[in-house]
A and B are shown apart, each in its own frame.
Chain A
Amino acid sequence: MRLSAMLLWVIPAAPLASAALCLAVKNVSVAKLSTLGTALLAFAASLAVASDVTRHVGGVLLPGWIGVNALAALILVLQSFVGLTAAAYSWGYIPHLAPGDPTRQRRYFLNLNLFQASLFIVPLLLQPVLTWVAVELTTVLSIFLVSFGNTREALEAAWKYAVITIMGATVAAFGIFLLLWGLTRHHVAVQTWSALIRTAPHMPAGVVELAFVLILIGFGAKVGLVPMHTWLPDAHSQAPTPVCALLSGVEVSTVLYVILRLWPVFTAVQGFSPQSWALVVGLVSVGTAAFLLLQVHDYKRLFAFSTVEHMGMLLLCLGLGPLGALACIYQLTTHGLTKSFAFYGSGSVLLATGTRTIGDVRGLLRSAPVAAGALFVGALAIAGAPPFAVFLSELTIFRAAATTQDYLVLALLLVFLAIAFLGILRRTGGMLFGQPTHGPARLPRSMAAAMMVGIVPVVVLGVYLPLPLYHLLGMAAATLR
């Protein structure tokens, strides 16, 4: 067995081991150290797996059960990178959330590790039903992270998150059963992604169409597509900041991964165009989120709505031909890296000021320069300003729309993105200048370190795309065809 295939075990086992340690040893420092150590290990293992996948080797650990393709490897790298920065950020951040309560802090790290493990499991599984179970698991294991604050607002956010996303997953399960029915009808016993893709052209169109609609609604609810997005700004803003980074940066993409994995199944059916669904639902999400962004009074919600906007954009890309597929994968990558950084910036501001309300914060550049800088760079980067990573990936989307001559889509997208850009920058810009409303504040060193690491890909990918990553993106995009 190849080394990289063996490493597939290590990736989810690392956070699980750390979770066991959090349970066994009643010491917060041990919990922090093991979380950070195993996060580093999982990141290294994901990089090794991804590098092997780009060289067309390795990838399957247990045929028919566990294995990765290029898309899954890319998701693993994103998950483990954000997991690493989130672990480092939590180190200094969580003691401020639960001061003088080591038991609660330890419970946080336990839940964080379990959630991280459930995220890793999703791209590793080769059977859609098991992947569905893993997606449900990500919800179940993150509910208590969302409600961690135990305030009325946090409980409200956790409740909406639980009910809407669990309902969504159940609806999606119906869709997956319908697809498996297509397999049963052709006496295919293996229920893997590849079996589905092979059999799809022979399935009855009606079955696949109904399955597509149910899966789009069901998983769309968990991805945050309009009109099932209502829970997302609540959950993604009330959770502790490192959890927000994981939820907004990688969890939504992890669920979208399931739709992407099934995409070749949907497109294989004669006389059915999932592309037009993707264009319409995607544009509606981008547009709605752009206008809602203008009304936000809470800077963490601002970035949460930006997630709705980006998820809409990712779906829209699927309707834009082969270059669109590449744009989708590219944008998924840059969004995950940038959004997590933007949340780290907003969390630092929250720590420095103690308020989430945009209007209550002024003069941040003078009172807390590091937090202010991180917030503004995060806002600029996620809004799509050059020279950051999202700018380049959005350019690819525009090019894809121009190539397929969807000029109306392109025009609407440009208008919506411009509105979102202005909305994000106007809201955050006002917080930086003027008479400081809050006293000077210093950030814990671990948080500053997490942000230093987090900003590297945001800046580097804005000017240069390393060759191995370029290959990985290309191969991942090829799995969508």
Chain B
Amino acid sequence: MAALASLNTVVGALFLLLTFLLMVSRQIQSVLRAFVGQSLLLVLSTVLLAILHHSAELAVVALITVAAKVIVIPGVLTRTLGQELRARREIESAVNVPVSLLLMLGLTVLAFFLAAPLLGPPAARAAVNLPIGLAALLIGVYTLAIRREAVAQVLSLMAIDNGVFFAGVAITTSSAIVEAAAGLEGVMVVLVVAILTRTIAQHLGSTEVSSLRQLGEGVPR
């Protein structure tokens, strides 16, 4: 049991590492690979927690996560956005990588700082997952704000989602119906946003969403 718990700690560390990688990678392909890896680690942590707590519900969650995040969502992205994913251009970002890394480190510290008071002795099972999930959430929101590329933004959104569930599986479980609804809904989100991205690419000739700045209170049009 103790071995499983420490294994979960390793998984948590790797999850955080991949989150960093996902957020600073400049190639869309490697961002996608990092996302799949991050999802796999989420599954692994869920399985470990399921064994640790003898929870059948968590095992179901792990199955749903494999289906939705490891198989269907990357599949949907590759099918709808094949061209955009293969494009060999660099992802533009408003802040350069070293500064971003420093800020992300700061956000990670903040996450541990915020989570620490919540983790009393009865909450041991959440000790690893809660702060790391919160860190992934904060890092993801930050990256979403600085990335200028539609596909990269979609993957950041999904990574935030992974972070939330990484914390979620450690602190609560719902019935299988609820989990399945959440999984299905995640797939729908990706499908709709991917189609919207493709439409934008067709109309604009690129997925540089930062060039979308027609609307606002500037000069009267």
A-side interface residues toward B, CB under 8 Å? 127, 129-130, 133, 136-137, 139-140, 143-144, 147, 150, 152-153, 155-160, 162-163, 166-167, 170-171, 173-174, 177-178, 180-181, 183-185, 191, 204, 206-207, 210, 233-234, 238, 292, 295-298, 301, 357-359
Contacts and interface: CB of A to CB of B under 8 A. Distances in A.
A150 B157 contact: no
Given A177-B168, A184-B172, A297-B221, 6 more contacts: A140-B185, A156-B212, A159-B200, A171-B137, A174-B133, A185-B122
B118 A140 contact: no
A143 B182 contact: no
Contacts of B199: 147, 150, 155
Quick one: which of B114, B117, B157, B185 has the most chain A CB within 10 A?
B185
B171 A162 contact: no
Instruction: Classify the interface of chain A: helix, strand, loop or mixed.
Output: helix
A295 B216 CA distance: 10
Interface string B167-208: 110011110001001100100110011011001100110000
B88 to A, nearest CB: 23
B56 to A, nearest CB: 14
Nearest to B188: A140
B164 A177 contact: yes
Given A156-B213, A170-B160, A206-B118, A181 B174 contact: no
Nearest to A178: B171
A333 B209 CA distance: 36
Contacts of A233: 215
A270 B9 CA distance: 34
B134 interface: yes
Contacts of A143: 192-193, 196
B123 interface: yes
B188 A206 contact: no
List the 9 shortest-distance A-B pairs measured between CB atoms, nearest first: A181-B171, A156-B212, A180-B172, A297-B220, A177-B168, A295-B217, A234-B215, A174-B164, A133-B185
B154 to A, nearest CB: 8
Contacts of B196: 143-144, 147, 155, 158-159, 162
A183 B171 CA distance: 10
A238 B215 CA distance: 9
A162 B188 contact: no
B209 A159 contact: yes
Contacts of B171: 177-178, 180-181, 184
Contacts of A139: 189
B214 interface: yes
B130 to A, nearest CB: 9
Contacts of A180: 171-172, 174
A155 B153 contact: no
Interface string B90-122: 000000000000000000000000100110101
A129 B57 CA distance: 15
Given A180-B174, A184-B172, A159 B118 contact: no
B215 A207 contact: no
Given A129-B174, A162-B193, A296 B153 contact: no
Instruction: Classify the interface of chain B: helix, strand, loop or mixed.
Output: helix
B34 interface: no
Contacts, number: 130
B150 interface: yes
B210 to A, nearest CB: 11
Contacts of B122: 185
B141 interface: yes
Nearest to B150: A159
Contacts of B153: 163
Given A133-B182, A174-B133, A185-B123, A157 B209 contact: no
12 contacts: A152-B204, A152-B212, A159-B200, A166-B189, A170-B161, A180-B174, A181-B172, A191-B172, A204-B118, A297-B221, A298-B221, A359-B220
B181 A136 contact: no
A174 B217 CA distance: 34
Contacts of B141: 167, 171
A359 B221 CA distance: 9
Contacts of A234: 215
A174 B193 contact: no
Given A155-B203, A166-B193, A181-B126, A127 B215 contact: no
B157 A166 contact: yes
B217 A297 contact: yes
Interface string B135-166: 00100010010000010010001001100100
Contacts of A171: 137, 141, 160, 164
Given A129-B174, A155-B203, A163-B153, A173 B164 contact: yes
Given A159-B150, A166-B157, A130 B181 contact: yes
Quick one: which of B167, B215, B217 has the most chain A CB within 10 A?
B215
Contacts of B209: 159
Nearest to B144: A167
B179 to A, nearest CB: 9
B203 A152 contact: yes
B159 to A, nearest CB: 10
B144 A163 contact: yes
Contacts of A147: 196, 199
A153 B199 CA distance: 13
B69 to A, nearest CB: 13
A244 to B, nearest CB: 14
Given A162-B196, A171-B137, A292 B217 contact: yes
A67 B42 CA distance: 34
B197 to A, nearest CB: 8
B30 to A, nearest CB: 21
A269 to B, nearest CB: 13
A217 to B, nearest CB: 9
A173 B144 CA distance: 17
B173 to A, nearest CB: 8
A150 B123 CA distance: 50
Contacts of B137: 170-171, 174
Quick one: which of B122, B200, B204 has the most chain A CB within 10 A?
B200
Contacts of A359: 220
Given A206-B118, A292-B217, A183 B172 contact: yes
Nearest to B159: A170
Contacts of A298: 221
